[in-house]
Amino acid sequence: MKNIFIFTSIIFTCVTISQELDQDYLQSLPEEVREDVLKRVDRKKEIEKPIYRNQSSQLEKTIIGTGIFGENFFTTYQSTFMPINEPNFDTNYILDYGDVLKIQLTGQKDFIDNYEISRDGSVNLPDIGQIYLSGNTLKEAILIIKANITRAYIGTDVFVSLESVRDVNVIVSGNVFNPGIYTLSGNSNPIHALVMAGGVDEFGSYRDIKVKRGNKVIHTIDVYDFLINGRSETYHRLQSGDLVFVEKAQKIVLVQGGINRPMKYELKNDETLDKAIHYANGYSPLADIKNISINRINSGSIEVFNLVPGDSLSNYLAEDEDVISIKT
């Protein structure tokens, strides 16, 4: 057995030099030796496989297909947010424990190194000591670092950049597919968190998504603002302990017939039915706008309103399950 082990070791050393094993040569080996060589090669390939770090990725969900405008937004959004650490951040990024800064000095003092913000919110620089940065924006931190270093080293240029960002743990709950705690990059916003949780479920609101910090609502998101109205908004970056909560849908209204985008739309409690026409991209060229009806559930029965000349959808406050029909 000892001789077989030594023989196998020699064979294995030789065959691993080449990219591929010679099959004829392998067949010429004793069966026991051949099997041992193949096992060693497989084990070597397994060890050499690259290992990748993965952040929280979007969880699978069952698509209900309710036809509500906005549901496809969370199914087409990218499911992971790579690279994990982005190279460029705006100067309003708030620093905290776990962020890593790259500091480079040139001139009287020359060096470059990375410094992670410690739990007490500081970085410890050689010959300078602790500088407290947590809670400051990146722009403020750069000014603080430069002020401290230039006092110690006259004629020295200071360059500061954010090398990597911390992870944050946030809670996503309410009417989402997979409520829970998620680990995200410190550069993430509430939309990222919602995507990780699978998006808004069939009962959830696209118009009333709250971000809470310390039991206080710091932001309310209306997805229709940017999907329909094209409003570009900078969302609050998430911090550990934040809660992203999706409220129950308000008024679901179906628009059908002579409309450019027949679909269900969520209207807020104070919105009138003409808003649904706006959200549906307006009437189609074939629409008979003089022939519009509203089907409404009232005490268990369906009530039909036919608009007469001079009447308008703006006169009707939306009710849940309303159906607007436009003849063509």
Is 252 in a helix, a strand, or coil?
Answer: strand
Is a pLDDT exceeding 80 seen at residue 23? no
Is a pLDDT exceeding 60 seen at residue 53? no
The confidence score (pLDDT) of residue 43 equals 57
Q: Kindly indicate the confidence band of residue 299, based on its pLDDT and cuts at 50, 70 and 90.
A: confident
Is a pLDDT exceeding 90 seen at residue 3? no
Is 168 in a helix, a strand, or coil?
Answer: strand
Average confidence (pLDDT) over 12-38: 56
The confidence score (pLDDT) of residue 4 equals 47
The confidence score (pLDDT) of residue 72 equals 83
Give the residue from 262, 254, 78, 74 showing the smallest Cα distance to 172. Answer: 74
Average confidence (pLDDT) over 72-91: 58
Is a pLDDT exceeding 50 seen at residue 63? no
201-203-208 Cα angle (round to 5):
90
Average confidence (pLDDT) over 228-240: 80
Provide the token pair at 277.
């026409």
**Contacts for 260 with CB less than 8 Å, ≥ 6 apart:** 280, 281, 282, 283, 284
* % residues pLDDT > 70 (the chain): 75
* % residues pLDDT > 90 (the chain): 58
Helices (H), 20-80: 23-28, 31-47, 73-76
The confidence score (pLDDT) of residue 281 equals 94
Is a pLDDT exceeding 60 seen at residue 2? no
Q: Kindly indicate the confidence band of residue 6, based on its pLDDT and cuts at 50, 70 and 90.
A: very low
Give the residue from 241, 252, 272 showing the smallest Cα distance to 207. Answer: 252
CB neighbourhood size of 23 (10 A): 8
Is a pLDDT exceeding 80 seen at residue 296? yes
Is a pLDDT exceeding 50 seen at residue 154? yes
How far lies 121's CA from each of 126, 129, 167, in Å? 17, 13, 15
Is a pLDDT exceeding 70 seen at residue 80? no
Q: Are 161 and 102 spatial neighbours (Cβ–Cβ below 8 Å)? A: yes
Q: Kindly indicate the confidence band of residue 66, based on its pLDDT and cuts at 50, 70 and 90.
A: low
Is a pLDDT exceeding 70 seen at residue 20? no
How far lies 165's CA from each of 90, 160, 184, 231, 239, in Å? 13, 14, 10, 28, 12
The confidence score (pLDDT) of residue 74 equals 77
The confidence score (pLDDT) of residue 233 equals 67
Is a pLDDT exceeding 80 seen at residue 77? no
Provide the token pair at 34.
């051949």
The confidence score (pLDDT) of residue 13 equals 44
The confidence score (pLDDT) of residue 79 equals 47
- What do you get for the CA distance between the two ends of the chain, in Å? 89
Q: Kindly indicate the confidence band of residue 90, based on its pLDDT and cuts at 50, 70 and 90.
A: confident
Is a pLDDT exceeding 70 seen at residue 280? yes
- Say how far apart CA 79 and CA 247 lie, in whole Å: 23
How far lies 65's CA from each of 72, 143, 202, in Å? 9, 52, 8
Is a pLDDT exceeding 60 seen at residue 15? no
Of residues 35 and 210, the one with the higher pLDDT is: 210
Is a pLDDT exceeding 60 seen at residue 124? yes
Of residues 79 and 117, the one with the higher pLDDT is: 117
Q: Taking the model in full, what pTM does it have?
A: 0.71
Type of residue at 289: I
The confidence score (pLDDT) of residue 278 equals 96
